[in-house]
Amino acid sequence: MSEASTIRSTVLAEEHARLGATFTDFGGWRMPVRYSSDLAEHRAVRTAAGLFDLSHMGEVRVEGPQAGAALDHALVGRLSRVAVGRARYSLLCAEDGGILDDLITYRLAEDRFLVVPNAANTATAVAALTERAAGFDAAVTDESAETALLAVQGPAAAAIMTSLVPEEQREAVTALRYYAAAPATVGGSAALVARTGYTGEDGFEVFVPTAAAPALWAALLAAGEGHGLVPAGLAARDSLRLEAGMPLYGHELTRATTPYGAGLGGVVALDKEDFVGRAALEAARAAHEAGEGRRLVGLRGAGRRAARAQQPVVVGEDVVGEVTSGAPSPTLGYPVALAYVDAAHAGVGSAVDVDVRGTRQPFEVVELPFYRRPR
């Protein structure tokens, strides 16, 4: 079998092509990278709304009397304490503490959870969750092929969504808190509506059966016409999440990183009795608190040239870190980057340079996120 034949497309591939999308291979999927321009799509999400196809993401159901306990064992967080209708960001770690994936888990009922891993890591997550749930009265089911995921992000997202929801459900949708979810009918399709996203804006992610996705995509585009909504691709999604300081698996998070260096120690519940990777993560926390290793930081450029992934961070003659993501910020008007930097140079206000193709460019360590939406 050729490599090209293993690339998958979402159920909306024909819709993207009809809209003139440029495609790229991402996580084993052929996905729209842009429709018009990266900048226009980015700005639409910040000022109005953008519509994203996220149907490449995984959807894994964990259910049974001990589903919460199984997830407590499998993930670094305490998922058994999540209230029904709420969601939690967590990490799937290996026994040595390395990050296998970052994911969101929704509690749909007392004994039923929906875990959403990254597209490229879905098979890894399903295998790990299945193995780790083996000693519990819980079943793991991969529902990725039967589920599509669309996201509406931006200041106009709530108005667009509620225009497609029956009147008796509108209050429940608009009242959803951040990281909460509820069933609703959207554009005539039964859906799970979650107030989550990856852009730093208000917005909703909508889970529907795969067969319902084309009609819902069309309905959302039509409902958004008067609100400035545009379809948006992966390029805008990446620049939006970078401004919001959100990590991307394969860049900020990898099998070689631990939660503490990535600034995610707060999601690790070391007070749990036992979970996969606990001993290694205790050691990683101790090393981090002792000043060992590198820290993930935000960098603001003083010049016009942007840093890019894998470029070295330098102080004097020493390489003290490496950029993981970088780009000009369309919203802020200056270059921003995420980088792992030695602890001695990771403090806010520290001055560093990035070697941008042989030329040193000045940057300053700043607090994350770079951008916060107006309240």
Q: What domains can be seen in the chain, in order of their start residue?
A: 12-54+146-243 (3.30.1360.120), 58-143+258-290 (3.30.70.1400), 293-374 (2.40.30.110)
Q: Residue 3 above 50 pLDDT?
A: no
pLDDT in tens, 301-356: 999 999 999 999 999 999 999 999 999 999 999 999 999 999 999 999 999 999 99
What whole-number percentage of the chain has pLDDT above 70? 99
- Amino acid 5: pLDDT: 53
* Residues contacting residue 272 through CB under 8 Å, at least 6 positions apart: 72, 78, 278
| SS3 of residue 65 by DSSP | coil
For the four alpha carbons of 74, 77, 82 and 88, in that order, the dihedral sign comes to negative
pLDDT in tens, 119-155: 999 999 999 999 999 999 999 999 999 999 999 999 9
Beta-sheet pairing, 49-53 with 229-231: parallel
Q: Which residues are annotated as a binding site?
A: 205
DSSP H helices in 8-121: 13-18, 38-47, 67-74
Instruction: Give the mean model confidence (pLDDT) for residues 274-283.
Output: 97
- Amino acid 273: pLDDT: 85
- Report how far apart the first and last C-alpha atoms of the chain are (Å, whole number): 51
- Burial letters for 157-192: b for 16+ Cβ neighbours within 10 Å, e otherwise? bbbbbbbbbeeebbeebeebeeebbbebebbebebb
Please identify which residue in the block is written with the tokens 């960001």.
89
Beta-sheet pairing, 60-63 with 87-93: unpaired
pLDDT in tens, 26-76: 999 999 999 999 999 999 999 999 999 999 999 999 999 999 999 999 999
For the four alpha carbons of 284, 290, 291 and 293, in that order, the dihedral sign comes to negative
| Local confidence band at 1 (pLDDT 50, 70, 90 cut-offs) | very low
In order, the DSSP letters of 130-185 are HHHTTTSS-EEEE-GGGEEEEEEESTTHHHHHHTTS-HHHHHHHHTPPTTBEEEEE
Q: Which residues are annotated as a binding site for substrate?
A: 205
